Structure 1
């Protein structure tokens, strides 16, 4: 556990003697040192990489599994389409919110100007900036950060997607779905994703890009298939658009239960979630101020339009009109709207072989696998930043980058005489040049990510696999997206409406009116399921609820995780006070970031590396260290900023990287 000390960005320039004095201080007090370097320019994420991160994360199983559940929840095609439209507005509001946060926080002084410098970690940084109290000390060990860290470590993994991937693979192969087989495949695919991102970061990003393109092609194919089906190209398939979109049928007998609408919108939030992924790895994006916003907006808009088109495609080819099919059949939880779509189209081509169902399951397997790959990459970076906050045991292990990349194996292969003779042409190719894979990866954070995923897969062993996926997906959406979405939206409103914050001058290039409107939309959209999920379903629709998962389980588990985070924070306070009373020491963390311009001549500043010192020190030693480094202040909030010396060092180092 650690206490972060903040120094004023306007502090005097740190001299070499001050830096030497702190190094001696670090040695004398036996502080742990964590060194984290940003990727070099050839390995940084470009526009395509950022866009594919968003596409690959957003297009998951939600668009295939949630559409029917939303119709079942609202009992109305018209209301369900309106909900999807509101979901798109909610998503775009969230995009604006995350762009504003990402380009404005955290704030550092670089070459005489205090400004926002992009950093990986996403929500962690924004909560730390806005919600400074309650805390252990000023700007240190915040309750908001600890709560988010706890929830994200527990549920910010790919356990649900791994289980769903296993089920879909077995069904696509026409193989019996057994619980043991599902759990074994789930663990294997989680291990594969962590292994890939550990040993070849470049390969993991390439795999993510390929899967994103495949997912886009899948959605385009669904839309085109619906158009073809409407022309009567598929045998014995008639368009149901006239019935389903008839004004008398579209809004007929809509649900009157608040819980149904809350769960339906929670599913839509889950389906649209993923747009925030670039914020998790913002420190790894090349020229983030230029590439990050446009890539995020373009990719989210494309996916949102395709989502609406796919929804229309589903109801266009299926006779689920309220005036035709009994309500009991429509709301049967065993009926999947997307699966029925494939049965009525591709399934007509070969009924005996379950062609439609197998294609549907293959699409879901690909979608789940893509989510696993991209979430493993981004979530590991967030957990690495969490470890730097010192609120985890063994922070150095979980926060360190290590080079265990494929380059080491390639160098070994090049040094063995027999291998170049056997694989000479392959080893000489551009892809297998060792320098192209020599990069550090967050090995400890990836191990933590796999560990939390493994625990959830095993803990839910007695739960039916399909319900395991539903439960974990809903809990993750409720806790990470909805609950903390409320805090983030409220944070923007606080910064905008509180003149003392001076946010208008800090959030340069952001329209204030659009910022407030986006925050209000995102706040209301997130708050709705957080509150209404506690309303017990009743009446006629109660028997159509997911009876295998009690209605209160999702909010109960989510709030339990948040409460556990609060207890962890209180436990830290008690532990730290006891240590302070017994030994007269406090646990501190000092950050020493270095910045550079990207591109070198006139680009915006980026963080190129960071050294974190943490350990127990006496108050006297801490006071001495603060006196040599600067005074506490607001501009950097939670980081030691060693003036322009660190900036200058970063410029020299990074200029060399950019010009190699």
Structure 2
């Protein structure tokens, strides 16, 4: 990628001389794009420098009006991403899992508190690394070894697991239903295809209009939710004109005996399932972190926008649930196959009002789709700017409409493929559930990495963001995501199979295979075994792991990785194990007008090159040629000098 920007590469080479070995100062692929001499990756943003705008695409791609998102737009970006169909359909699922109205409302409150811990975690990360990309930047910063592996995995994740296929199909189903047409596979997918095309064009060709429409839909959803809450309160307080029709069962959910009736009858497994669904109803609060390069005053804005959006969402969720219980009887909610919102409008305004629910949910899903495509396209653009994707300059560009049209089209293309290709049934359900599960895996890695940054082991990384989440909050968020990762392994109760022809854990297999956790485990095990064989001192396994992970001046992992990863046969499964690096070394690129083509180099070559740069040979200190001796030298362990060669004898 540095071929396209030789001036930045020259600055990076100068920065390299000032930074300690293994400092993370920009791209995960060694392209240091910050242009801030002597500053670390996080510190370079303290003075307002935006590495993204300085190292991606061409210089003409970044207009002065690029930072277009203010507080209002940031709030409704989060609000749009969170509010989908969950609040209209899941309350009956939560009630069935909880057993009583009281436990159901408590479950929603617990879910809101857990989501708030996630908000705190991502505010800290966003203020520490205020650039577009979101989780990509955080994972690169935290998990630097094996080099490039986490970035390649995230690229696969964002392309396959974060598609908008499922949301577009839901939009198509409700639009078709609102037109009094029987939904089928073909008409729902036709509407979904048109919706995706509309989102692509409005965000890619007219970004300003797309942003305004997105904000308008977010405001409309907020008004609709608070209107539902108001109607429910009117019914609860016996306001004339807002009473349940006599032909339907009268609710009695708020008397003390009825409020807790059924508590403790569903079991721990059912409660875990209910909490699982509540947490997913709050998913989407990380999207503003993915577009921070387009947010005005990002550090200040994210600290205000994220809590405000979460406050609006939590208030709306709790108020709407109270309204549902005020209008719909518990037995009707559990026994009917209709979504709760439809029962609400039917009980208050008659059967003809049920169609209004389809229109409301379609509006909600359109806002969700616009926000998802808006943020997802920017993440793909960041992957292009980092050199992860082929033809990086194409994906990094903002031309011709001053927006990431290439990134938006890539997400549109994958969403259309995943929408049209899988047949209905198990394959489609696995696709949707895999996307949800992969988000939990990413959040688990992010929260665990942030916990490590709060430990003394990582003090040399100088992690000092303007906002720091309390450590107990990070621990709670980490444990909640561990819960989400492990719950799918719990067998469902008899008679409630998730899939007809697949095991209940099928949706777990796809993201876990994509994460290549077996490569991580074998890599770490090989490093530990090699270190124990090489080092002549009784270092324990935790000590070696800390040496590998901390990544300070010790080259233990650099040496071992360059040799041992060649023996990890599982690593060859990655088709993404290559990247673009300059034809010439960074310090040789002095002509800012030159633009040389890139070539693809296998990662083992890059590891070996890094090793040679770390040990350049003659200079201060002895030249160390044997890799095992290099380990001992870098660790400061005394080791015997190499034995002199035996004298030659005359033949």
Number of the residue aligned with 1:522 = 477
Q: Is the CA contact (8 Å cut-off) linking 1:263 and 1:533 kept in structure 2?
A: no
Aligned pair count reads 511
* Post-superposition offset of 1:241: 6.2
1:366 correspondence with 2:360 = no
Q: What's the CA shift string for 1:95-120, capped at 9, x where partnerless?
A: 11111101112xxxxxxxxxxxx210
Q: Is the CA contact (8 Å cut-off) linking 2:244 and 2:250 kept in structure 1?
A: no
Cα distance in 1 between the residues matched to 2:518 and 2:64: 35
Number of the residue aligned with 1:491 = 449
Q: What's the CA shift string for 1:438-491, capped at 9, x where partnerless?
A: xx2212211210111011111233339xx95x65543322212x1111111111
Please point out which of 115, 122, 125 is paired with 2:137.
Answer: 125
TM-score between both structures, scaled by the size of structure 2: 0.70
1:54 correspondence with 2:55 = no
**3-state SS, counterpart of residue 120 of structure 1:** coil
Change (3 A) 1:121 1:157: same
Instruction: Give 5+ residue unaligned stretches, structure 1.
Output: 14-18, 23-31, 106-117, 136-140, 406-439, 592-610, 628-660
Change (3 A) 1:586 1:367: same
**3-state SS, counterpart of residue 533 of structure 1:** helix
Cα distance in 2 between the residues matched to 1:50 and 1:461: 36
1:310 correspondence with 2:320 = yes
1:191 correspondence with 2:197 = yes
Q: Is the CA contact (8 Å cut-off) linking 1:167 and 1:177 kept in structure 2?
A: yes
Please point out which of 369, 374, 378 is paired with 2:375.
Answer: 378
Cα distance in 2 between the residues matched to 1:561 and 1:227: 47
**3-state SS, counterpart of residue 375 of structure 2:** helix
Cα distance in 1 between the residues matched to 2:250 and 2:70: 43
Please point out which of 52, 58, 61 is paired with 1:35.
Answer: 58
Change (3 A) 1:575 1:197: closer
Change (3 A) 1:575 1:402: closer
Q: What's the CA shift string for 1:264-300, capped at 9, x where partnerless?
A: 3332222111111110100011111222211221121
Cα distance in 2 between the residues matched to 1:255 and 1:590: 66
Number of the residue aligned with 2:553 = none
Cα distance in 1 between the residues matched to 2:330 and 2:133: 44
1:213 correspondence with 2:219 = yes
* Post-superposition offset of 1:176: 1.5
Change (3 A) 1:486 1:576: closer
**3-state SS, counterpart of residue 504 of structure 2:** coil
Change (3 A) 1:375 1:10: same
Cα distance in 2 between the residues matched to 1:589 and 1:474: 45
Cα distance in 2 between the residues matched to 1:246 and 1:547: 41
* Post-superposition offset of 1:57: 1.3
Change (3 A) 1:576 1:289: closer
* Post-superposition offset of 1:509: 3.6
Please point out which of 40, 52, 71 is paired with 2:95.
Answer: 71
RMSD: 4.0
- Alignment map for 1:551-570 (pairs within 5 Å): 551-563=504-516, 570=571
Cα distance in 2 between the residues matched to 1:38 and 1:278: 19
Cα distance in 2 between the residues matched to 1:145 and 1:41: 29
Q: Is the CA contact (8 Å cut-off) linking 2:175 and 2:359 kept in structure 1?
A: yes
Number of the residue aligned with 1:341 = 344
Cα distance in 1 between the residues matched to 2:584 and 2:95: 53
* Post-superposition offset of 1:499: 4.5
Q: Is the CA contact (8 Å cut-off) linking 1:119 and 1:281 kept in structure 2?
A: yes
Number of the residue aligned with 2:404 = 442
Number of the residue aligned with 1:506 = 463
Please point out which of 461, 482, 485 is paired with 2:423.
Answer: 461
Cα distance in 2 between the residues matched to 1:249 and 1:74: 12
Number of the residue aligned with 1:168 = 174
Cα distance in 1 between the residues matched to 2:209 and 2:382: 23
Q: Is the CA contact (8 Å cut-off) linking 1:384 and 1:399 kept in structure 2?
A: yes
Q: Is the CA contact (8 Å cut-off) linking 2:67 and 2:293 kept in structure 1?
A: no
Q: Is the CA contact (8 Å cut-off) linking 1:158 and 1:376 kept in structure 2?
A: yes
Q: Is the CA contact (8 Å cut-off) linking 1:92 and 1:300 kept in structure 2?
A: yes
Change (3 A) 1:245 1:446: farther
**3-state SS, counterpart of residue 243 of structure 1:** coil
TM-score between both structures, scaled by the size of structure 1: 0.69
Cα distance in 2 between the residues matched to 1:398 and 1:452: 15
Q: What's the CA shift string for 1:153-199, capped at 9, x where partnerless?
A: 10212111110001001111111112110111111111110111110
**3-state SS, counterpart of residue 188 of structure 1:** helix
Q: What's the CA shift string for 1:122-148, capped at 9, x where partnerless?
A: 00000000111122xxxxx1x222222
Change (3 A) 1:565 1:545: closer
Change (3 A) 1:128 1:508: closer
Number of the residue aligned with 2:572 = 571
Q: Counting strand residues as a fraction of each chain, which structure ranks higher?
A: 1
Q: Is the CA contact (8 Å cut-off) linking 1:275 and 1:296 kept in structure 2?
A: yes
**3-state SS, counterpart of residue 58 of structure 2:** strand
**3-state SS, counterpart of residue 510 of structure 1:** coil
* Post-superposition offset of 1:529: 1.9
* Post-superposition offset of 1:587: 8.1
1:293 correspondence with 2:303 = yes
Please point out which of 233, 245, 251 is paired with 1:236.
Answer: 245
1:477 correspondence with 2:436 = yes
Q: Is the CA contact (8 Å cut-off) linking 2:582 and 2:596 kept in structure 1?
A: no
* Post-superposition offset of 1:206: 0.5
Number of the residue aligned with 1:402 = 399
Please point out which of 388, 399, 408 is paired with 2:385.
Answer: 388
Change (3 A) 1:588 1:249: farther
Q: What's the CA shift string for 1:301-347, capped at 9, x where partnerless?
A: 111111111111112211115xxx7xxx8266x3422222222122x
**Structure of larger gyration radius:** 2
Change (3 A) 1:616 1:90: same
Cα distance in 2 between the residues matched to 1:76 and 1:172: 32
Instruction: Give 5+ residue unaligned stretches, structure 2.
Output: 20-31, 36-54, 521-568, 588-594, 615-651
Cα distance in 1 between the residues matched to 2:271 and 2:162: 25
Change (3 A) 1:394 1:42: closer
- Alignment map for 1:82-93 (pairs within 5 Å): 82-93=106-117
Cα distance in 1 between the residues matched to 2:584 and 2:168: 38
Change (3 A) 1:587 1:62: farther
Cα distance in 1 between the residues matched to 2:193 and 2:393: 26
Number of the residue aligned with 1:330 = 334
Q: Is the CA contact (8 Å cut-off) linking 2:152 and 2:577 kept in structure 1?
A: no
**3-state SS, counterpart of residue 69 of structure 2:** coil
Higher relative contact order (CA 8 A, sep 6+): 1
